[in-house]
Chains A and B, each alone.
Chain A
Amino acid sequence: MSDSNDPVVVDHLQVRYGRVTAVDEVSFTIPRSEVYALLGRNGAGKSSTIQCLVGQRRAAAGECRLLGRDAWRKRRKIMERVCVVPETPDLPPGASAVELGRFLGRVRPTWDADDFNARLDRVSVPRHLPAQRLSKGQRRQLALAAALAAEPEVLILDDPTLGLDAVVRRTLLEELVGELADRGTTILITTHDLAGIEGIADKVGIMQQGRLVYDETMEGLKVRFRRLRCVRGAATSPEAIEAALAQLEVAESRHVGAVVDAVVGRADEASIAGFSEAVDVTDFELEALSLEEIFVALCGEEPGGE
């Protein structure tokens, strides 16, 4: 499945913690300049996947390649062109923004100090306070500024909006992705801010219990999943409706009296026509869904936030 030209390739990845399999046979690729949103509930295996992808954790099986190189073996070389912002900011606690910039300026070949300073100015992060004395949001802003100032070819963001308020979150995502898209940066992002990522991501992967259950374009996912509403005829039992819905790859269904409310994964014309012929339903409606609605339908309850 992998195209060696894609900057991000995850191929049959497995991650284990002792006897627990955290990531199981996960495969996806991200073509150049695309934004890939890796979604999943807490504990679905997203962070483990990212740690393997950036060469920080060794896979039990499978392979991760970044920019055409093996992520475990060639991590140091890869990291010259890749930046990572982890779920929890891991900045050295005693280092201030200035010291961090000085250090990164010496180890990163593409470091843009002016850009770093400009970003710090924009987000009002104190430059001389050690990281441990910054707020969680400030630390995240600092980590993002550091990642972006390195002008990476691939940017990996593990829930970058975690801990940020709604306004900053939205602004950040729009600015971030808009700017990076112009640069042609390839982005892998995990987030629980599904509304924020909806207009940004080109492709979506959804992980459940360590497995990648959906790997589709954002557009394809939204075309595929629809909300179906109808009223069950008097002679039709709920069981008959469920049986028919199963043909539409139902992700979620509710029966409120005679009203049927379902999210289905096959909403093409032929399938819907087949459904309405198979059972006696009236007031038939099909609605487009937001990414969040699709995610909730697929993963059960509301995605857990921090």
Chain B
Amino acid sequence: MRAFTALVWHEISERRALLAAAAVASVLPVLAPLLPSTGSNPAADVRELVMWIMVGFLVPLFALLLGVSFIGRDLSEGRLGFYYAQPLSGPTIWFGKLTAVFLLVWGAQALIMLPTVLLAPNPVRLLAPVVTTDLPWKTGVFGWSVAETFGPYATLAVWLVPLGIVLLGHAVSVVWRGRSVWLVLDLIALLVVAGGAWMALRPFLPQVALKAALAGVLWIVAWVFLGLIAAGAAQLTFGRVDLRRAHRSLSAALWAVLAVAVGALLGWSNWVRSATPGDLHRVDRVSVASGEWIAVSGPSDGRLDYHPRFILNANDGRWVRAGSGPQESWYMSDIWFSGDGRHAFWGKRSLAGELDLMYVNLEEKEPHAKGLGLVLDGDHRSRMDVSNDGDRIAILEERTIAVYDVETGDQLAAVVINGEFEPDYCWFEGPGTVAIAASTPWVRGQGENEGRWTTYRFDVTSKTLSRGEEVTGSRWGTAEKLVAQNRRRVERVESEAGDTLALVDAGSGELVADLGETHRWSWDVRDLGDGRFLVLRHLDDESFLDYFDADGIRLNRVGYGRGSWLRFAGEVAPGRLMLGAEVWDANEREETRYRFSIVNTATGLAETTMDGFYPLQGQTWRGIEAVGDGAWQVGSVASRLLQGEDGSLHLLDPETGTLKQLIPAVASSSSRVKTADL
């Protein structure tokens, strides 16, 4: 240690001129506000700006000069032998000199900053979160969100990048001075390592798994840093004063370290992407169709924001990997099922931002994903649709509607739609007919969901386009279809006395029956198909389920007590409707529990109630999506899916009254639920 510190101070002392230069440079920011051209800008801002310019220019320059010379020049000019002639080990020489150079670089930076920091109104802020302050020039240069997001990284970078420059400068200096055939090998190794890192990280970029990609980048950067340090130590230990041998030792150590690091990164990347349904520790999104297949995605341990996605057979457990699920529902496309549930489609995002359409035939014994060779230039799933049998796919691109054969990828028909507005939606009305809708832009004041629609019909066989009626319709959130409203419907009526629910004639708008008071937001209606209907409402902190006949006469009321929110789910068996409830203690609203009930639609009474699970159907905010009319059929898989409070996924068997666990939610083992008897 004594020899190490002696070497460090010796090196610093020998290069003290650099600190003197930094001290001179530190005066410039202090003098800068005196210049007439700085105008009315606050002196502190001017000093800070000039200081960062000095730091940004001089410190990397110092680092580069020191990096290329502190070993490399001694080596090539035959002066390194002095250190080997002393009782100093190779690592002591390397780490002693390196530490001295690091201290010199940091010292120079600190010296340049010192006067400005001392004069700053908030010195600590200036030293630490370099670009997170709200000075206009910073947000102007970096952008507010960039400054906010990368501020901590920038702080680190300001102090670590110069050290990286020292290390890189040293390595390049030795490699260049060596000028042996190893230079070619270095270039090859560089390409291999960079290629390996790119292969490892590339899959994360189109999936927008930015945390995973960033983790990979940081891993590589850290190992480049460590690799360069290790390489220097190897060079000084094994190469000593022999320049070529020094180059060989440095290169061998550096590339060995980086090969291991990139190998590990490739392994990790592969591991991240090879998750199985059992690895999910929470199911965030579920898509269902008619039939047995569902699509699930969610986070899993160690995979950061890469959310593996699977198409899973709820009955026999077979599954197909379907890339990565979305982290944000607005950004990524999800799974499309054909209406009959026999085919599934999804977009595999390329680096260019396009979606390569992938497809799996779920009727195969061992279903596997394959590319369709079709590309969507956006991620609006409303601009494509799959026929009910999954054999055809319609894609709306700007004003062109095109229909393709799924098996062959051949375009069957296409036509340009020359209407007033660009079409927004398309959907199959039948195997040979595609409907297209174009809406007027939203008009403020008309109501959030109101709009005027022009519809078209495209006959695939005859390749003819016909213009349909213009309708005023409702737009239901992100649902794509126009909703016909030709029956009685329940509406909320606002009045000064309070909100009530009313049964109205959908055609004339006349009041049929007053259904009573309700909470403004928390109410729902479920049509039982024969004119009868169920109404859920929340009133005075209590929840009620009301059972009405077609004329709005209440047949029954079930109170769920205080502290619960109710919502309808699917019909798990004929006449048995599932309800989901969020229940909380009246005094402690944070401790929300989940509950589901099975309601007999003939009596309107809850027959079974169970805590700890909630039905996915009806949980729009939890991301379940139904595709095709079959998804919500009585007894469908969709209607029987339940999620545990730990994020696990279960399928209710109405015959046996048991829950079958589909996804175990591995991270939450303490609250894991396997099966439960109803």
A residues in contact with B17, CB < 8 Å: 94
**What is the distance, in angstroms, from B203's C-beta to the closest C-beta of chain A?**
44
Check: B609 CB closer than 8 A to any chain A CB. no
B246 to chain A, nearest CB (A): 11
0 or 1 for each of A89-113: is its CB under 8 Å from B? (1 = yes):
0111111000100111011110000
Provide the A57-93 mask, 1 if CB < 8 A to any CB of B, else 0: 1100000000000000001110110011010101111
Could you tell me the distance in whole angstroms from the C-beta of A74 to the nearest C-beta in chain B? 11
Q: Is A247 an interface residue (CB 8 A)?
A: no
Which of A18, A76, A103 is close to B10, meaning CB atoms less than 8 Å apart? A103
- B232-252 interface bits toward A, Cβ cutoff 8 Å, 1 = contact, 0 = none: 000000101110110000000
Docked Cα-Cα span, A106 to B3, in Å, equals 6
What is the bound-complex CA distance between A92 and B244, given in angstroms? 22
Whether B242 lies near A58 (C-beta < 8 A) is: yes
Minimum CB–CB distance from B86 to chain A (whole Å) comes to 5
Nearest A residue to B92, CB-CB: A76
CA A274 to CA B10, docked complex, whole Å = 67
For the complex formed, measure the closest distance between the CB of A297 and the CB atoms of chain B, giving whole angstroms. 33
With both chains docked as a complex, state the minimum distance between the C-beta of B170 and any C-beta of chain A, in angstroms: 17
Docked CA distance A102–B3 (Å): 12
B494 CB to nearest A CB, Å: 85
Which residues of A sit under 8 angstroms from B84, Cβ to Cβ?
Answer: 54-56, 75, 79
Contacts A86-B81, A90-B81, A99-B14: A107 and B86 contacting too (C-beta < 8 A)?
A: yes
CA A18 to CA B179, docked complex, whole Å: 13
- The number of chain A residues with a CB under 8 A from chain B is 30
Least distance between B263 CB and chain A CB atoms (Å): 30
> In the complex where A75-B84, A90-B81, A107-B86 touch, is A57 in contact with B241 (Cβ < 8 A)?
yes
A contact residues around B81 at 8 Å (CB): 51, 56, 84, 86, 90
Contacts of A95 in B (CB 8 A): 10, 13-14
**What is the bound-complex CA distance between A109 and B88, given in angstroms?**
12
C-alpha gap A237/B542 in the complex (Å): 138
Q: Which residues of A contact B86 (CB under 8 A)?
A: 79, 104, 107-108
What is the number of residues of chain B that contact chain A, defined by CB distance less than 8 Å? 28
- Shortest CB–CB separation between residue B334 and chain A, in angstroms? 62
B80 part of interface (Cβ distance < 8 Å): yes
CA distance A86 to B84 in the complex (A): 11
Taken together as a complex, chains A and B put the C-alpha atoms of A95 and B17 apart, in Å, by 12
Known: A94-B15, A103-B10. A58 touches B245 (CB 8 A): yes
Q: Does chain A have a CB within 8 A of B365?
A: no
Contacts of A106 on B, CB cut-off 8 Å?
A: 2-3, 5-6
B516 within 8 Å of A (CB atoms):
no
Other-chain residue from B15, B80, B85, B245 in contact with A79 (beta carbon distance below 8 A): B85
B10 in contact with A93 (CB, 8 Å)? no
Give the docked Cα–Cα distance between A104 and B17 (Å): 22
Quote the shortest CB–CB distance from B112 to chain A (angstroms): 22
The one of A83, A93, A94 in contact with B85, judged by C-beta atoms closer than 8 angstroms, is: A83
Residue of B nearest to A15 (CB): B242
Chain A residues in 8 Å Cβ range of B3: 106-107
- Which of A51, A57, A75, A103 is within 8 Å of B6, CB to CB? A103
Residue of B nearest to A86 (CB): B81
Q: Which residues of B contact A75 (CB under 8 A)?
A: 84
Instruction: Name B1-29 residues within 8 Å CB distance of A.
Output: 2-3, 5-7, 10, 13-15, 17
Closest to A99 in B: B13
* Docked pose: A299 CA to B32 CA in angstroms: 70
Q: How far is the CA of A94 from the CA of B89 in the complex (A)?
A: 22
Q: With A58-B242, A95-B13, A107-B6 known to touch, is A76 a contact of B87 (CB < 8 Å)?
A: yes
Whether A92 contacts B82 by the Cβ 8 Å rule is yes
A278 to B10, CA, bound (A): 70
Q: Are A92 and B14 in contact (CB under 8 A)?
A: yes
Interface residues of A in 7-58 (CB under 8 A from B): 18, 51, 54-58
Q: Which of A84, A88, A90, A99 has the most CB of B within 10 A?
A: A90
A57 and B242 contact, Cβ closer than 8 Å, known pairs A90-B78, A90-B79, A92-B14: yes
A sample of 18 cross-chain residue pairs with beta-carbon separation below 8 angstroms, ordered by A number, consists of A54-B84, A54-B85, A56-B241, A57-B241, A58-B240, A58-B242, A76-B88, A88-B78, A90-B79, A90-B80, A90-B81, A90-B85, A92-B14, A94-B14, A99-B13, A103-B7, A107-B3, A109-B87
Other than the given A58-B238, A107-B6, 7 more pairs (CB < 8 A) read A79-B88, A94-B17, A99-B14, A103-B6, A107-B86, A107-B87, A109-B87
B-binding residues in A (CB < 8 A): 18, 51, 54-58, 75-77, 79-80, 83-84, 86, 88, 90-95, 99, 102-104, 106-109
**5 smallest A-B Cβ distances: which pairs?**
A106-B6, A94-B14, A90-B82, A103-B10, A79-B87
B interface residue numbers (CB < 8 A to A):
2-3, 5-7, 10, 13-15, 17, 78-82, 84-89, 92, 238, 240-242, 244-245
